[in-house]
Structure 1
Amino acid sequence: MRYALLLLLLAPGLALAQAEALENPGTTSAVQDRLYRMNHELTLGVGVLPADAYYKGYYAQVSYTYHFSDNFAWQVGRGAYSYNVETGLRSQLERDFGVAPTATAFEDEVEWMVGSDLVFSPFYGKTAILNSKVIHFEAFLLGGATVFKLNREGGFRPGANLGLGIRVFKSDTVSFRLDVTNNVVFAGASRIINIPTIQLGTALNFGATE
């Protein structure tokens, strides 16, 4: 009698558990594959060298990147030429204090640069804008080496760079990317300078799959 009463008390709970199991037999998680893939990438970009107190550089750059997979790529080569504009501080120093333009601080002005990078793209996603348009994007890290041609007596100087960026896909052949990097440059005589760059580019993708 005692066991029968216990079964009667447990029966509603068992029935409810069985009903829940039938309604929700299990959950399945799935990760959607990326829509756009890169292969041979040609990037045309414009950028700025914003950090130097004596000039601001505005540059144009072209680069080629080979993508081994969705996550790893090699920016085989990139080259940029900078158009430099003197700041008010530099003009004031030259006008009011007679500071020679060959002073050490002025020798760090970048004329052009070439380099190569490894690229790691661990993040890919998509988002909706006002529930009317879906955009696909990826975020990436890059690191490599750069050779700078500094003006006047600056000569050629090697540097190492690290940076990050984001890419927004327009189609399987066109995307837009923003790169932000910092170059640690060995400027000679045990002197190290930092040359940050900010670049916005249009990337053309050849051999793409969708």
Structure 2
Amino acid sequence: MRKALLLFLSLMPGLAFAQAEALENPGTVSAVQDRAYRLNHELTLGIGVLPADAYYKGYFAGVGYTYHFSDSFAWQVGRGSYSYNVQTGLRSQLENDFGVAPTAAAFEDEVQWMVGSDVLWSPLYGKTAFLNRKVLHFEAFVIGGATIFKLNREGGFRPGANVGLGLRLFSSQNVSFRLDVTNNFLFAGARRIVNVPTIQLGTAFNFGATE
């Protein structure tokens, strides 16, 4: 009996310490907050630029419709853009100083308009505080699809594969803003592939979804 009492008394400090530690650190609990905004039918109006060609810069206006199957998967059913092209100083110099004809082959790959369709995958959604005054909700997505280009040359229809990244900033349930940065691999024939990057900033109007 005395030995049992002594053993109990010797274990008391350890038990008390373990109990206090358990009270101070009851365990870690984590939770994933649901999205504040959901999308269904999306109409996008945007403006953008074709920045890469050395002989011209294209400034385009575009429209597109996207159907969202879920929070992470969507199909941009159709998109179309018309480009207003401006000659660069390099082209003007080649024409004026070196007599290069405006119909030279190097100048015949200007994009006049383009239409396409894409799949969107949105693996990232989050929110952040802006100046500790406003909570901003955003998502990032991956773009993959196909584009048909109309070039300024005669019969200049060319297919291309489109890949890129996008970022969406939500303003409300019905309005958000999109930044799409893509690169089109334009199949120009004779084993020739031309890169046509696009940068588009758009306003998206969302219908048919609830918070």
Q: How far apart are the structure 2 equivalents of 1:21 and 1:206? A: 50
Q: Who is 1:35 aligned against? A: 36
Q: Who is 1:115 aligned against? A: 116
CA deviations 1:117-167 (Å, max 9, x no partner) are 000000000000111110100000010000000102460000001000100
- The farther-off stretch of 134-143 and 21-30 is 21-30
* Structure 1 residue 14 displacement after superposition: 1.7
SS of the equivalent of 2:146 reads strand
Q: Who is 2:202 aligned against? A: 201
Q: Contact between 1:108 and 1:154, CA under 8 Å: does it hold in 2? A: no
Q: How many residues align?
A: 210
Partner AA of 1:64 in structure 2: Y
- The farther-off stretch of 13-22 and 59-68 is 13-22
CA deviations 1:169-207 (Å, max 9, x no partner) are 000000001000000001122211000000000000010
CA deviations 1:24-57 (Å, max 9, x no partner) are 4333211100000000000000000000000000
* Structure 1 residue 4 displacement after superposition: 6.0
Q: How far apart are the structure 1 equivalents of 2:63 and 2:156? A: 22
TM-score of the two chains, using structure 1 as the length reference: 0.95
- The farther-off stretch of 107-116 and 25-34 is 25-34
* Structure 1 residue 3 displacement after superposition: 7.2
TM-score of the two chains, using structure 2 as the length reference: 0.94
- Equivalent pairs: percent with the same residue? 80
What residue ranges of structure 1 are gaps of 5+ in the alignment?
none
Residues 87, 154 of structure 1: alpha-carbon distance in 2 compared, 3 angstrom cutoff: farther
Q: Who is 1:77 aligned against? A: 78
What is the root-mean-square deviation in Å for CA atoms of aligned residues? 1.6
Q: Who is 1:192 aligned against? A: 193
Q: Who is 2:107 aligned against? A: 106
Q: Who is 2:91 aligned against? A: 90
* Structure 1 residue 16 displacement after superposition: 1.2
CA deviations 1:47-68 (Å, max 9, x no partner) are 0000000000000000000000
SS of the equivalent of 2:20 reads helix
CA deviations 1:70-122 (Å, max 9, x no partner) are 00000000000000000000000011111122222211100000000000000
